[in-house]
Amino acid sequence: LLACCGGGAALGGWAWSRAKVDTAGEIDFVNRLAIPLLAESRLDEKGRRVFDLRAQEGSRDFGAGGRTRTWGFNGDYLGPTLRAKRGEKVLVNVVNGLDEETSVHWHGMHLPAVMDGGPHQPVRPGATWSPTWTVDQPAASLWYHPHPHGQTAKHVYRGLAGMFIVDDDNASNARLPNRYGVDDVPVIVQDRKFDGGGQFEEGESLGGVGILGDTILVNGTVAPYHDVRSERVRLRLLNGSNARTYTFGMADGREFAMIGTDGGLLPAPVATDRVMLSPGDRAEIVVAMRPGERVTLRSFPEDQGTDFFNRRFTGGGDTLDVLELRAADDLDPSADVPAKLAPFEPLDEADAVETRQFRLAGRSINDQKMDMNRIDAVVTKGTTEIWELTKLDGTPHSFHVHDVQFQVLSVGGQPPAPDLMGWQDTVFLKQGSTVRIIARFADYADPDMPYMFHCHLLTHEDAGMMGQFVVVEPGESAGRPPIGSSHH
Ligand code: C2O
Ligand code: CU
């Protein structure tokens, strides 16, 4: 396996190729896809699986006309894949090797708010933060990234992000392609824009959504290909971009099996030829391959009825080539995708004790900007709530809720599309369509420590399109967030 981090030299330099295509097939996939290393771990005396992550500066030759200054975890760009099994207790030593405050948030993870790594868990330069929790959720492709107050876009854009794979004992999961980096491949998709000197452009942007880059990186690789040696390959797609929404499909139009969403496996595979992922979203797909062929994973112009502004401001009107899959002449046999993937219990609207409205517009939610001192919602532990999400302005938003995985009840009054049927932690908001979601807020009450909900277009989040909720014991009221507590 090739390391994702600091591996530029080992790749013999990067050939340069922009991903944006006007007509099909223009891009040359000339670089072998980097596979993020699996993070090493050890068991401590308490039986906890211990990982080490260090945020640090670095540089990498992307072939953009000079070494690009980057940030990464344990390397120059992105970070290793953390992996733990349901039921395991984990501890991560997060060291901040940067010159400024950062944090590390476990996106999609169900865990106590004080371990969540949001803006209330800043890590000062030189400091170590060591959150610990028990992994207790179904197998899923989660991820981690910084979440410092007002600075998330910059920290993620420079390269701080990685995948966190949760495993479980579900037998179907075991029968899916599961050789990491071989037929079970993390695909972290990010768009970047380089300036004339080869540096990442970070300036203000079209429509205020953040930079829409014209170069696609997958696991930090420009113009990547992956050699496939088996009849089926599982792609764990993560939209790790700051602003861009992708509508993924295969360039030749073939169908694939969608097997998972943000929070885990679907009840059954869905045969489809498109999957749309807004920033922060994940999907797992299984693609069948024939010997010797090459097929391109592409992002197509968004064709799901999104309005002009969304297309323009999310980049949803662009065709972008992402990754070429190159099948060997002899392919190892792969098992069929199981017809049943994971037990799935729809949450019942009748169980909801609260319905809340969230209106997104003007970089605010319900006309308020993020305030670290204000609690916007108090949720009682063990209850189920319905949240109604509506976007009222002309720019796209992607709504993310910490702590829970939710289910989508309806989009614009209609049942959700198949790719929104499973567990979600992030959902794209279309113009004029209220998205109703339902979640159960189990465990982990803490009246003083909030979780976040926000737009996952990171420029919007940083500008204040975020709010805070606490989970309290029945009958308890909200406390006060401990402002200014930083880890030294
Ligand atoms: Cu992926 Cu609040 O973040
Ligand atoms: Cu937004």
Query: Residue 146 maps to which CATH number?
Result: 2.60.40.420
**The ligand 1 atom nearest the CA atom of 466:** 2
184 and 254 in a single domain? The answer is yes
Residues 198-250: pLDDT tens digits? 999 987 665 678 888 999 999 999 999 999 999 999 999 999 999 999 999 99
Q: Which ligand is nearest to the CA of 144?
A: 1
Whether 99 maps to a domain, the answer reads: yes
What value does the mean pLDDT take over residues 477-486? 73
Q: Under a CB-based contact definition with an 8 Å cutoff, are residues 451 and 470 in contact?
A: yes
Residue 208 phi/psi, 5-degree rounding, is: 70, 25
The dihedral through the CA atoms of 183, 216, 190, 364 has a sign that is: negative
Domain boundary among 169, 186, 220: 169
304 and 357 in a single domain? The answer is no
What value does the mean pLDDT take over residues 255-266? 97
Q: What is the pLDDT of residue 6?
A: 32
What value does the mean pLDDT take over residues 190-204? 89
**The ligand 1 atom nearest the CA atom of 453:** 2
Residues 22-48: pLDDT tens digits? 444 467 899 999 999 999 999 999 999
Token pair recorded at residue 45: 């005396």
Coil, helix or strand at residue 461:
helix
CA–CA dist 214, 170 (Å, integer): 40
Residues 370-407: pLDDT tens digits? 999 999 999 999 999 999 999 998 788 999 999 999 99
270 and 324 in a single domain? The answer is yes
62 and 162 in a single domain? The answer is yes
- Give the DSSP letter string of 281-335: -EEEEEEE--TT-EEEEEEPPP-S---HHHHHHHTTT--EEEEEEEEEEEEE--P
314 and 369 in a single domain? The answer is no
Please tell me whether the overall predicted TM-score, pTM, comes out greater than 0.80 for this model.
yes
Q: What is the pLDDT of residue 484?
A: 54
Q: Which ligand is nearest to the CA of 364?
A: 2
47 and 124 in a single domain? The answer is yes
Q: Flag whether pLDDT at 15 surpasses 50.
A: no
Pocket, ligand 1, Cβ cutoff 6 A? 105, 107, 145, 147, 280, 400, 402, 452, 454, 456
Coil, helix or strand at residue 488:
coil
Q: Which ligand is nearest to the CA of 309?
A: 2
CA–CA dist 300, 317 (Å, integer): 8
Q: How many folded domains does the chain comprise?
A: 3
With tokens 């540096």, the residue in question is 199
Return residues with CB closer than 5 A to ligand 2 (ion).
Answer: 397, 455, 457, 460
248 and 203 in a single domain? The answer is yes
The whole domain housing 39 covers 9-169
What value does the mean pLDDT take over residues 255-274? 96
- CA of 196 relative to ligand 1 center, distance in Å: 31
- CA of 384 relative to ligand 2 center, distance in Å: 25
Token pair recorded at residue 81: 């894949």
57 and 136 in a single domain? The answer is yes
17 and 150 in a single domain? The answer is yes
Q: What is the pLDDT of residue 488?
A: 44
Residues listed for the chain: 488
What are the residues whose beta carbons fall under 8 Å from the beta carbon of 350, sequence distance 6 or more?
Answer: none
CA angle centred on 193, ends 244 and 7, rounded to 5°: 100
What value does the mean pLDDT take over residues 175-195? 96
- CA of 240 relative to ligand 2 center, distance in Å: 15
- CA of 318 relative to ligand 1 center, distance in Å: 25
